[in-house]
Chains A and B, each alone.
Chain A
Amino acid sequence: MRHFLAILKYDYLQRTRSYFFLITLCASLVIAYTFLPSPDAGYSTIRISDYVGYYNSSWVGYITAILTSVFLSLMGFYLITGSIKTDSETRVGQIISATPTSNFTYLLAKASSNILLLLTLVGIIFLMSIGLFFLYGDSFSFELLQFVQPYLIIVVPTMVFISVLAILFELIFGKYTVIQNVVFFFLFSVMLLYNPKSELQQTYDVFGSKVVTQQMEKTVREIKNTVSNEELAIGYIVSSTQQTKRFKFDGVDFSTPYILSRMALVVFGFMLLFLISPLFHRFNLRERKNIVRKKTLLEKEPITNDINISGLAIMSKNYSILPLFKAEFLMLIRKGKSWLWIFNSLGVVLLTVLSIDMAHQIVLPVLWFLQVHRFSDITTKETTNRMHYYAFSSYLPLRRLLTSQLSSAVVLLLGLALPLLIRYVILLDVQALLSIVLGSFFIVLLAAISGLLTKGNKFFEIVYFFLTYANLNKFPLLDYFGGIVKTDMFWIKHSTVVFLMVVATFFLRKWKLNNN
């Protein structure tokens, strides 16, 4: 118990004391704020046919709860995953593995820390939802139970399960984080699309949201006096406030089997953790890897040579950034598993053969996203590789080193997009061409700025994931590469944003150099 509490406490403190967490907290607040649109907003988040609920306690409580359950499951997973990897990188794990702490105790503490982290965010969103009720729901009475009940029954078990799942995925997929993220996204999509037909099937709903949305649909059907299924839309749905009709939602009477199923989800998660704990590597990865594949180089011969300092060839001054660019580009290419280049090659072929719209709108964002691990640490890799002393004491570090880092990543992205660029050149579509170039700058600069602000690469990876997801769903506001929006104003606006991002990147880097 002592070990458990110690790991839990310090893991939680370590993770909450990061810029990354602070920024995630702010982002959660912003997202939570949008969960409940203002009465005159041009969008809704949950809509049944033309209906949305009056902003009474039930609607505000349940809406924010189910949106939190769904969105925080996705975002939260990417936020909390990697805690074992962090222990491995910081070598804290190796120290823990030499203590009497059992596998299960360690994993349970890690899962519990995940739970606390997500519940911290849930708590903030919960308070925000109450604040929003008082902001928008002026004519309805405040009923605390209508807030507490859905959060307790729907959100908390989901967060516990996702927390445990993050640990399980880390154990199963190890260092293959790309596969881990893709598999989770696939699983998330399956869970989201799950449509229970009976009360029993509702108990299998991991997010716990279907019981609420089906109750809402039922209420609307009764108002409309129809038996046909009403069209339910969840997400940021653009809609006219004038066409929107209102209905009164009074919450859900959760059945005992449903409540038991939510408790069972928690128990099931911990049971899975217990069952898989014997497979935990106890941070023996490096040794295993060395034995199987890469042995540390050993010197067979004793050292006999000496350096004749006065006899060393004298190098001349050379301020070209080309050698820096070359090395940075080489590092980008070599990063990650070499088999990922099979996917890249496939993407390049698809950019060549598919219809130009499909290539631009679907293949390009996916192909670029597949490179996320290569450049997400563009401004943090010096620190993570303990190269920052060299970087900070290099000659003209902003003008030469930072420029070569940014340009190598842009060239990588444009190189991958080359078939599409050539197609647009042939079509003389300058606007599309410029949009892709600006898109590559935008995403690289976003990685650079995120790294400089959060001192890590995770925030960017999460944001980029959602950006890609939004673009695949053709959300025009987040189109960064001109795949969806094709107006004259787009690239003018976009080039202004990119210019400002360049300024911000150089400013932040300079600030960091001066305040190290």
Chain B
Amino acid sequence: MRDFITSQFGVSVVLAFIVINVLLGAVSYCIYFERKISAWIQDRCGPNRVGPWGLLQPIADGIKFLVKEDVVPNHVDKPLFIFAPAAIFLVAFIGFAAIPWGGQLELDGRLVNIQVANPDIGLLYILGVGSMSVYGAVLGGWASNNKYSLYGAIRATAQMLSYDIPMGLCILVVVLTMGTLRLEEITLQQTGYWAGWIPQWNIFLHPLAFAILFITALAESNRTPFDLAEAEQELVGGFHTEYSALKFGMFFLAEYAHMITASAFIAVLFLGGWHLPGVSWTQPQATQWYAVLAKIVVLSTKIIFFLFVMMWIRWTLPRFRFDQLMRLAWKGLIPITLALFVLAAALLFFDRQRSPLWALSGNLVILVVALITASSSRLRVTGRQVNLPTIAPATDFVRLGRVEMPL
């Protein structure tokens, strides 16, 4: 038994159990922190009635989700209506399986990875699982047989599909730099130093790819400014208009779980995962249990930082219009990421893929060219594409008062 627990497979199973439970708790508290941060930004108090500082609010919310009526209206497609929240919840909660949480741990003289699964195609796995969340949205919208739901679902689908392509290309830039799809290996390759003290994190090689990956992560998890799918003023609740009780809660939890997985993914790809420069416990050689704990704390801090930025953006920026959203993806991000891909391939060809000087200047050139192109009016990347005809002021129409009416 002890032999099984200390083997890689046993550690994986135990870790999967722990992470699922921690994630379920974390998403509940994400909602609490979202409300607290929104209150802080808008100069309000936020939840403060249930427990000290409202800390028990997520539990109260959970109970309320549970005891509310689970309405299944009789106009819906029942199997799909039940399947949709399950689908979105499932894909949101299995993406973390390939995230390396804490390097390696020495157990009974063996080294085991603190990672649920370390498949050869870890990156592809996360990308694939992440893009599957579109099924939950489109099935929920279609099954609801409600116009708001259907339009929300179609918008969500178009948006997720469009932002999938720049996301894939940004990750491809990392693959070209690192040459591996294993996330543990990617973290390990980022633990070196330039000039003795600058950590070899990918953000210092491809900051533009990092920024675009963050933007696409916002779009993929339907967060503001990309939450067109549930634009309340236009579409009531979007694709989950007809859902209530715990099924609605599952959509809600899935969104936050998606955010956490995406943050962890970006932290691993671009910010060195569990690596913190200068601290000996967070180096790959440290395999004691306290070193693993330190690494988990470092990665969690990076995740919390990303979550905070996502919430900050949500309560600061207004929502895009739909044409702006699609234009940003197809005319903005895709050409830039294609250029980044060419840059990464060229750097690799000349064996400069780990040289920050070359990579950063390439990034700078791409950014400057993109800004100049976007601001030149001929190519029409931004702004209205079609000038609407100006409406002539009504001169010969009815005016109240003693003016004659045209007959």
Say whether A and B bind each other: no
Name A's B-contacting residues (CB within 8 A).
none
